[in-house]
A and B are shown apart, each in its own frame.
Chain A
Amino acid sequence: MDTFLWVIVPYLCLATFVIGHFWRYRYDKFGWTTRSSQLYEDRLLRLGSPLFHFGMLGVVGGHIIGLLVPQSWTDAVGISHEAYHVVAVTGGLLAGVMAVVGMVILIYRRRTVGPVFSATTVMDKVMYAFLAAVIVLGMWNTIAGSIMTIGGEYNYREGVSVWYRSFLAFNPDASLMADAPLGFQLHAMVAFGIFALWPFTRLVHVFSAPLGYLTRPYIVYRSREDQLGSHSPRRGWERTRV
């Protein structure tokens, strides 16, 4: 059972994530967009969207540090467990509160503003449910688990993080996850659900973060020559250059 939950399911989700994105990019570039609803409503979005997105950037950054940096590294540079804990909880709490407040505003907006609600697809609703669940569970783990230590202290850097790195190294140790508190287990499980859904939702826009804008020239020129018509030529049928 542990192997199924913490080895098979995560790898299935990862495979869906990778292959799904490849497939979506190959066949649905036209559908690859933020599908912004700012045109319909501006006031709530102006508040909620930056809160949510900047909060999420903080949350993702925190997860990268927490999951990918081994405890031995921070010990090696002399950061004590307590100091790390304080910084992580403070930062996590700040980013988490921003994300939660932003999300509440955005979900309220999506439900109450007529045109925005009409433009919401079924996939959007599923995605929102998963996203809300994973954020709430994450906040629960931070507040109830790490601050109030309900159900005993748990150092995720010796449990979940190690499992996650072993998962990424294709040498997963399911027992580490099986021993983790229920809150962490649920959080991880729902998060994998999101990763599996990711390529089929509007979340794909995360991967088009336009960082190239910082370096490219302002005006883009394109010649008809490199691609004629609306399709790239099939292999072997490219135009010859004279």
Chain B
Amino acid sequence: MRVMAQMAMVMNLDKCIGCHTCSVTCKQAWTNRTGTEYVWFNNVETRPGQGYPRRYEDQEEWKGGWELNSRGRLKLKAGGRLKKLATIFSNPKLPSINDYYEPWTYDYATLTDAPAQQHTPVARPKSLLTGKNMKIEWSSNWDDDLGGSKATEKYDPMLKKIADKVKFEFEQTFMFYLPRICEHCLNPSCAASCPSGAIYKRAEDGIVLVDQDRCRGWRMCVSGCPYKKVYFNHRTGKAEKCTFCFPRIEVGLPTVCAETCVGRLRYIGLVLYDADRVLEAASVPDDHDLYEAQRSILLDPDDPEVVRAAEAAGIPRDWIDAAQRSPIHALINKYKVALPLHPEYRTMPMVWYIPPLSPVIDVVRDTGEDAEDTGNLFAAIDALRIPVEYLAELFTAGDVAPVDRVLKQLAAMRSYMRDINMGRDPNPEIPAAVGMTEEAMYDMYRLLAIAKYDERYVIPPAHAEQAHSLEELGTECAVSEYGGGQQDLFGEGSGVPTPIAVENFQMLRDRQTSDTLASPNDKSSRVNLLNWDGKGAPPGLFPPRSEGEGQDDGA
């Protein structure tokens, strides 16, 4: 047994309202740069729907992830090493920009520059790739809330498998939201596809990262990832992906997407797993066994045997404590309500989902029956095969039984807790019907419904004795190291990357030295960049050079 720690996430889809706050904040934090306009480390998809990029789940087309060869050995679906090198001059399975969307901006200057005229001037969309006028025809969320699904429903690869049973009549429809980030897989096919070896899995916390200095832009990772969560920065020519906000995780903060989630549906914590058994679990012959196989390699952190092995593997004591308190372990292995996304890709994804009960409840409520009654709900879950089968295509490779079980657990929890909330005697038969004790059911309710910040995010900071070297604090770096980069010589991204601590330096110093946090002294002289037209340098755009230097551009 070789114990390794993995930072993982669970999302409770019942709570997702599809507000896209996670996507927007993530974009503001990580991908609001030239070259990454179309890059969404976090995106929220309406299901049924095509997803982003379009039809990414159709692996017969894109050949992402792993598959078993005729001898039952695991191999990359897109072909092994030799095939990768033979096709390196033109990647055969790279999504084009049209499978994402052509990024654009608007010609805002026209709105203010246009001469007096009869008609209101219009800001026309301009392509960010060519700079020319363009017609906007698709984007990352074109089919949000089933918009246009009459026309696009046939493109959902998951729906195709059960298409004959699904009616997109409005009275029979169902939908839910699926927020997606990088899965930080235990068996990442993007890393396996990278010819340069630039994508690596961090040994400490399992976060999968792209080394920007070693990436050579071969683009095999984009094809190799079945979730299409590695993106190609077309400006720098390097691959970029979700970083699990590692600078935040290292200091014990949740990711930006989780921190800003309005529905508080995300959970972050550690799991311990047996690295020696990953290959074995990823190679089970039957797709339907993959969910159980992946669950089985996650170790019980309360088992003294596991704790001993973890300590022997050099996992610090506070990390083991955090693994024991981990909400992820509870949701995946204790209550067993979280399911992996597309286990059939055999990458062992580590962002799991609690399937939504809402589509079922909506239907029951519409029939006029009591939607929170256990009997009604259980019957409805059995009767409403369509949502259940669809969820099974997403989370269990098409095996309906685990999804059915989870939905019944969630339904039972609602009914059980309603009795308590209404002041009636709780009915012990309800938890028993789904094989849970009353106490476990109540604990699960607490975790799902009212868990506070420190219960949803159990993130042990990286180690105190290393803390001075971490990216976020970065106090160890000699400043002279940062002057050496040849900025601008080969494009904007060139040179030595600036650590976050250096980028923040001015702001942090201002905050530390100003009298008040909310209203800095120089507020009146600052420029609101949202109103700035991009031309010239109005007074206050840059801070004064230094005291008494006479660089008074404000006068």
Across the interface, A37 reaches (CB within 8 A) one of B234, B469, B474, namely: B234
B421 within 8 A of A: no
Known: A119-B234, A219-B192. A213 touches B85 (CB 8 A): yes
> Which residues of B sit under 8 angstroms from A213, Cβ to Cβ?
81, 84-85, 194-197
Interface digits, A207-242 against B, CB 8 Å rule (1 contact, 0 not)?
Answer: 010111110101111111000111100100001000
Across the interface, A218 reaches (CB within 8 A) one of B82, B192, B217, namely: B192
Contact across chains for A46 and B489 when beta carbons are under 8 A apart: no
Distance (Å) between the CB of A174 and the closest chain B CB? 35
8 Å CB interface, B58-106 against A: 81-82, 84-85, 88-92, 94, 96-97
8 Å CB interface, A38-85 against B: 38-42, 45-46, 49-50, 52-54
Contact across chains for B494 and A229 when beta carbons are under 8 A apart: no
Binds A, one of B126-134, B150-158, B393-401, B545-553: B126-134
Binds B, one of A25-33, A143-151, A179-187: A25-33
Contact across chains for B97 and A39 when beta carbons are under 8 A apart: yes
Contact across chains for A31 and B90 when beta carbons are under 8 A apart: no
Q: Which of A53, A208, A212, A229 has the most CB of B within 10 A?
A: A229
Complex CA–CA separation, A219 to B191 (angstroms) = 6
Contact across chains for A221 and B203 when beta carbons are under 8 A apart: yes
> Which residues of B sit under 8 angstroms from A211, Cβ to Cβ?
85
Contact across chains for B129 and A114 when beta carbons are under 8 A apart: yes
Across the interface, B232 reaches (CB within 8 A) one of A27, A36, A46, namely: A36
Complex CA–CA separation, A38 to B200 (angstroms) = 24
Complex CA–CA separation, A218 to B73 (angstroms) = 14
> Which residues of B sit under 8 angstroms from A37, Cβ to Cβ?
234
Complex CA–CA separation, A215 to B25 (angstroms) = 40
Complex CA–CA separation, A222 to B187 (angstroms) = 14
Across the interface, B481 reaches (CB within 8 A) one of A31, A34, A234, namely: A234
Question: Looking at chain B's contact residues, is the secondary structure mostly helix, strand, loop, or mixed?
Answer: loop
Distance (Å) between the CB of B303 and the closest chain A CB? 24
> Which residues of B sit under 8 angstroms from A28, Cβ to Cβ?
486, 489-490, 494-495
- Chain A residue nearest in CB terms to B472: A229
Contact across chains for A30 and B495 when beta carbons are under 8 A apart: yes
Q: Count A-B contacts at CB 8 Å.
A: 162
Contact across chains for B91 and A38 when beta carbons are under 8 A apart: yes
Interface residues on A, range: 35 or more
Complex CA–CA separation, A54 to B195 (angstroms) = 18
Binds A, one of B208-216, B285-293, B412-420, B452-460: B208-216
Question: Looking at chain A's contact residues, is the secondary structure mostly helix, strand, loop, or mixed?
Answer: loop
Complex CA–CA separation, A38 to B478 (angstroms) = 39
Complex CA–CA separation, A99 to B191 (angstroms) = 32
Contact across chains for A114 and B232 when beta carbons are under 8 A apart: no
Q: Which of A39, A41, A114 has the most CB of B within 10 A?
A: A39
Q: Which of B90, B129, B187, B234 has the most CB of A within 10 A?
A: B90
B462 within 8 A of A: yes
Known: A118-B129, A213-B196, A223-B202. A208 touches B216 (CB 8 A): yes
Contact across chains for B89 and A50 when beta carbons are under 8 A apart: yes
Contact across chains for B84 and A31 when beta carbons are under 8 A apart: no
> Which residues of B sit under 8 angstroms from A42, Cβ to Cβ?
94, 96
> Which residues of B sit under 8 angstroms from A205, Cβ to Cβ?
216-217
Known: A37-B234, A234-B478. A216 touches B494 (CB 8 A): no
Q: Which of B94, B188, B197, B236 has the most CB of A within 10 A?
A: B197
- Chain B residue nearest in CB terms to A54: B89
Q: Which of A29, A214, A218 has the most CB of B within 10 A?
A: A218
Distance (Å) between the CB of B119 and the closest chain A CB? 29
Across the interface, A222 reaches (CB within 8 A) one of B91, B203, B237, B476, namely: B203
Contact across chains for B494 and A220 when beta carbons are under 8 A apart: no
- Chain B residue nearest in CB terms to A239: B469
B466 within 8 A of A: yes
Complex CA–CA separation, A18 to B216 (angstroms) = 20
> Which residues of A sit under 8 angstroms from B489, Cβ to Cβ?
28, 31
B430 within 8 A of A: no
> Which residues of B sit under 8 angstroms from A229, Cβ to Cβ?
469-471, 474, 476-477, 499
Complex CA–CA separation, A53 to B474 (angstroms) = 43
Contacts beyond the supplied A119-B235, A221-B200, A224-B466: 10 A-B pairs with Cβ under 8 Å: A27-B485, A28-B489, A34-B218, A40-B96, A115-B129, A208-B216, A210-B88, A224-B462, A228-B476, A234-B478
The 8 residue pairs across chains A and B that have the minimum distance between CB atoms: A210-B195, A31-B490, A35-B237, A228-B469, A218-B192, A115-B129, A114-B130, A33-B237
Can you sample 5 A-B contacts with CB below 8 Å? A30-B495, A32-B216, A34-B218, A210-B197, A212-B197
